[in-house]
Each structure stands twice: as C-alpha cells, then as structure tokens.
Amino acid sequence: MAIRVLHVATGNVGRIALSQLIEDPRFELAGLVVSNPDKVGRDAGELAGLGTVTGVAATADLDAALEARPDCTVYCALGETRLFEALADIGTILASGSNVVASSPVPLIYPWGLLPDRMIDPVEDACRTGGTSLFVTGVDPGWVNDLLPFAIASTCQRVERVVCSEIADYATYDGGPVMFDFMGFGRPLDDLPRMFKPGILAASWGVSLRMMARGFGFELDDITEWYEREPAPEAFDVAAGHIPAGGVAAMRLKICGVARGKEVLVIDHTTRLRGDLRPDWPQPAQDGGSYRLEITGEPSYRVDVCPTSAKGDHNYAAIAAGAGRIVNAIPDVVAAPPGLRTPLDLPFNTARGVFATALAG
C-alpha cells in the first residue's frame, strides 16, 4: 500500500521533492501546503513543474491539510530565516500523528549540544503525543558529512582526520533570501550578514560535526570557525540578483571539530559567483561545483562527488540530491519508533523502490 504523504512548500527543494512524490508509486500525495497566495488553489502537478493534473489543490491552511491524516509530511519550508515558525509547524505536524521528513530547520539534524533542552523537549513531546518520528537532513549539512564519511571510513584500519568540502559556483542558484540575507552576497565587506555573526557557522555546521564524532565514537572538545570573503572587482548579475562592485562575490569558510588539541573533523566551503575569483582557493572536480571527502588514515582517501542532472546544472543536481535523500527516507522514518531520528538511528537507506520505479512497465 502506498504511503500517504502531505507536502509543505514548493521552493527550490520542495518543488523537486513534490515531483518525486507525484511520480513515485511508493507514495500517494494526500495534500499540499503553500505560503504564497498566488499558489493557493493550483494543482500540485502544475506547481511541481510536471504539467500533469493530480486533483490535489494547494492550500495555505496546514491544520486543514492535516485533517487528511497523512502517514508522513515532507516539510521543505525555509528554516534559516524563520527558525521558530518552522519549529512550531513541525511540532503541530508531529503531534497530529504525521511523521515528518524535512530539509529544515538545520539544527534539528542533530540538535544535542547545540539547542537548549527547552527547544528540543517540545519536539520530542510532540513525537510522543503523535506517536511519530522526525528526520531532518539534506546534502551539506547532510549526507556529504555523515553517510559518505562513514561509508568510506568503514574501510579504514585507522582514521586521523576527515575533511568534507563543498566547492561550488552559485551564480545560477536563485535562492535570494539565502544568498543575500543569510550568506551576505553582494553586501560590502563591513556589512556582516547573519551567517558570519559569531557562533552561527559553528551552529549551522556543528550539527554535522557532532554527529560525525558520535558516529566515530568520541566527543569534540571544541568547534572553531573561520571565514574569508572576496569582493567583486566590478558589478555583474547572477540568477538571484545584482552584485555591485565591491560587494561580496566569493567566500570560503571552515568549521573545525577539535579533539585533544587537533582539528580532526573539518567542513570546508568555497563558494564563488564567478569562476575566476580567488583561484588560490580549492577548485571543483567538475565545472561548476563538486563535493570532496578527504580522509587521512590507513588507507587515506580523496573522493570527489560530481552531481549532474538531465534537468539542470550542478546547483540543480545538488538540490535534487537533497530532495531525494528526504523523500527516499520516508519508509524508514514511518517505520521508526517515535522520536527525533538521525542517520545514526535509521537503517542504511538503499533507496528501495527507486530502481523499481525506473523499471516499472
């Protein structure tokens, strides 16, 4: 029997996740919630970009949508700029009896050691009330810094250091709120955005570092953060908007997990809006962008992951990977005992059903 799923939000991640829910026979779309008034009443197939009619019309009323009693809700609403609203939404969904897989809020990927108990306890209480489980994940933070390191390190006799990198050109990424408001692209160097306020980098990616440490069997003594930004030499335009001369056009950041005085777990991001900026920073393994895992140990590894898509460029492919990770987790999350779940709790996901979908008929 197909799993009945409610879907929330049709932005960059949500639109791709919605298209899989509609086309994948493992799932039955039970409802669609949107925040944009212009999308209310429109068919889910149209909003997913499929050009099909599903008979499921979008609504702005989450409570009304939950009356359909879905087995699971895919939550793809923005969480970076609306943390408390997103937490409230997820609490409502969980308490109603619907499990949740989500791309935000990022702190819920692994909140222990980051969020205070007063923010974690209501989520766990909602899970107990509804008999439900919650799983939040993505690409990075997400499987690039949890499942991939664990899979490769499982072949090592000894591991001394793990570095997870994203190296990407974001010129074609059209997520304006994330690009301009959170990351601060286009701003003068002396105008510090929220992402670079003290502690925010460590909070955003520290969830992955703490999860990695727990998976490897030790605890971190500290998490440090470092960043550098590069201004645009002249004005130019990108998909998300205008970058003025002198505005931030490239950035590199590192978040390091420290144990016994050594940086043992590192997340390293290099993000450019033009490929010619800061050639001394790491370069991707393919044009546009890639992910990289480097393990120092015995044996040592360098693994480059180069996502591509028939539907878009490297940025689209990366977003699609995050959406696929969420949707393919639904069966395991529905089957999991109530509570906040991480990759350390769930069974290894082999994407059962994806090949079956491709080979159907």
In tens, the pLDDT along 14-38 reads: 999 999 999 999 999 999 999 999 9
Per-residue confidence at 256, pLDDT binned at 50, 70, 90? very high
- Write b or e for each residue in 306-319: b if 16 or more Cβ atoms lie within 10 A of its Cβ, otherwise e: ebeeeeebbbbbbb
* Average pLDDT of the residues in 252-257: 97
* Average pLDDT of the residues in 53-57: 97
Output the pLDDT for position 267: 98
Output the pLDDT for position 46: 97
- Which tokens in the block code for residue 275? 């490929």
Output the pLDDT for position 357: 58
User: Domains along the chain?
Assistant: 3-137+329-359 (3.40.50.720), 143-309 (no CATH)
Mean pLDDT taken over the chain:
95
Output the pLDDT for position 78: 84
Residue 359: pLDDT above 80?
no
Measured CA to CA, the distance from residue 139 to residue 319 in angstroms comes to 8
DSSP string, 241-301: EEE-TTSEEEEEEEEEEEETTEEEEEEEEEEESSTTS-TTS---SSSSEEEEEEEEEES-E
**322 class by beta-carbon count within 10 Å (0-12 exposed, 13-18 middle, 19+ buried):** buried
Output the pLDDT for position 361: 46
Task: Determine if the pTM surpasses 0.85.
Answer: yes
Residue 258: pLDDT above 70?
yes
- 10 near 47, Cβ under 8 Å? yes
Residue 84: pLDDT above 80?
yes
Measured CA to CA, the distance from residue 124 to residue 44 in angstroms comes to 31
Residue 81: pLDDT above 80?
no
